[in-house]
Amino acid sequence: MSTSSDPEFAARPQLSDDVARYVRRRIFDGTYRAGEYLRLDQLAVELGISVTPVREALLNLGAEGLLVQQPRRGFMVLELTAQDMADVANVQAFIGGELAARAAENITDEELSALRVIQDELEDAYGGGDLERTVRLNHEFHRLINVVAGSPKLTQFMSGITRYAPESVFPTLSGWPKQSTTDHRRVIAAFERRDPGRARMAMAEHFTIGVAPLTEHLVERGVIAAADPPAENAI
């Protein structure tokens, strides 16, 4: 597999986060399937970097529960479930909602203006179908809110759980750009009113409303297994 023209990966040695992002994305898009083995040497050659950052990245993904290391065989991709996706979204909703509520109390007119600019650019990126730009701007939107909240520990927790959310998948979901725009505008409106309760609710719903379409998409791509239908005579 050649990555020389792949905009998702920039070969910058020693940056294991780039490698982890690269592998994580391919797990969520179905390129690397559950049960498949990833080898350090093969990935290093594919990405044009040394083995060291690849090893660090795969170990980190193992700590996230996406891979498991098997002696002499490499790192095996673990199965994801619909419950995993729901659990991630619920944690994001709780922490993200609290951060939004705190941001509503702290946000300045200048920060609010900056948030509007980011959202305008995000909607423009959605309209142009620019996946990389939408992912980056969506990240900037949420990052600014988290910074304004002034709660570094909560922000750290949020950053950790967000690694489990396939951010690059959401812009490709049917109807998601429109839904995301509506949700973000609700958050901004709550900030304009300096209303923590509305901000918390809007942000929490933003995270949980995407679970169903995301799960359906991942089932279609074979990333997670479809749930078995309940037995007719189940009690």
pTM to 2 decimal places: 0.79
The neighbour count for residue 166, using CB atoms within 10 Å, is: 20
Q: Which amino acid is at 171?
A: P
Tokens at residue 183, please? 């949700």
> What is the tens place of the pLDDT at every residue in 185-207?
999 999 999 999 999 999 999 99
Alpha-carbon distances of 1 from 4, 10, 23, 47, 137, rounded to whole Å: 9, 15, 13, 9, 29
Residue 99 contacts residue 151 (beta carbons within 8 Å): yes
> What is the tens place of the pLDDT at every residue in 104-150?
999 999 999 999 999 999 999 999 988 889 999 999 999 999 999 99
Residue 158 contacts residue 96 (beta carbons within 8 Å): yes
Alpha-carbon distances of 109 from 42, 98, 144, 200, 232, rounded to whole Å: 51, 20, 13, 19, 57
Q: pLDDT tens track of the chain, all 235 residues?
A: 444 445 455 444 456 888 988 898 888 888 898 889 998 888 999 998 999 999 999 998 888 888 999 888 889 998 888 898 899 999 999 999 999 999 999 999 999 999 999 999 999 999 998 888 999 999 999 999 999 999 999 999 998 888 777 777 888 888 999 999 999 999 999 999 999 999 999 999 999 998 999 898 888 888 887 664 444 444 3
Phi and psi of 68, rounded to 5°? -135, 135
Which fold is adopted by the domain 16-77? Arc Repressor Mutant, subunit A (1.10.10)
Q: In the chain, where are the structural domains located?
A: 16-77, 82-220
- pLDDT value at residue 164: 78
- pLDDT value at residue 231: 44
- pLDDT value at residue 15: 63
- pLDDT value at residue 101: 98
* Residue 191: its H or E element: helix 176-192
Query: If one looks up domain 82-220 in CATH, what number appears?
Result: 1.20.120.530
Q: Which residues make beta-bridge pairs with 68?
A: 76
Is 82-220 the same fold as 16-77? Answer: no
Residue 57 contacts residue 40 (beta carbons within 8 Å): no
- pLDDT value at residue 4: 43
- pLDDT value at residue 235: 39
What is the rounded CA–CA span in Å between residue 59 and residue 3?
22
